[in-house]
Amino acid sequence: MKARERLFLEFPTFSVTTVPGPEGRLLPAATVTEWRREQPIFAFDHHAQDRYPAFQFDAGLPKPIVGRILQLVRPENGWHAMFWFAAANAWLEGDKSPVDLVDLDPDAVTEAAQHANDQISD
């Protein structure tokens, strides 16, 4: 629970009714909910409220890279997705986290996501 609270405090989030859209207008909650259902974005539960990490939006739209990553990682839930994006990743140069590189090097983040479910053996 401490790790979840730390992530919540570290990364800005929106509620379903406060996601900014184009030109500073708020997006309709139905639009945000539909995007979540279709999985170009994700949310995690924080104190019984869905929270949408801000890094997955650009100019009022979902960043396409986030949807691709969610398809590859296949997270069990929103917290699983959030931890994957926020954690250091050995597939990324300097063990950066995917969220650090999602805009700067989306190809590297995609490659890291392709390995998210690799099975490790002896």
d(CA 68, CA 81): 12
Amino acid in the structure at residue 73: V
Q: How far is CA 122 from the centre of its chain?
A: 31
Mean pLDDT value across residues 68-93: 96
Per-residue pLDDT of 19-72, as tens digits, reads 999 888 999 999 999 999 999 999 999 999 999 999 999 999 999 999 999 999
Domain assignments of the chain as residue spans, ordered by start:
2-114
- 41 within 8 A of 52, measured Cβ to Cβ: yes
Task: Find residue 51's DSSP bridge partners.
Answer: 44
Whether the model pTM is above 0.75: yes
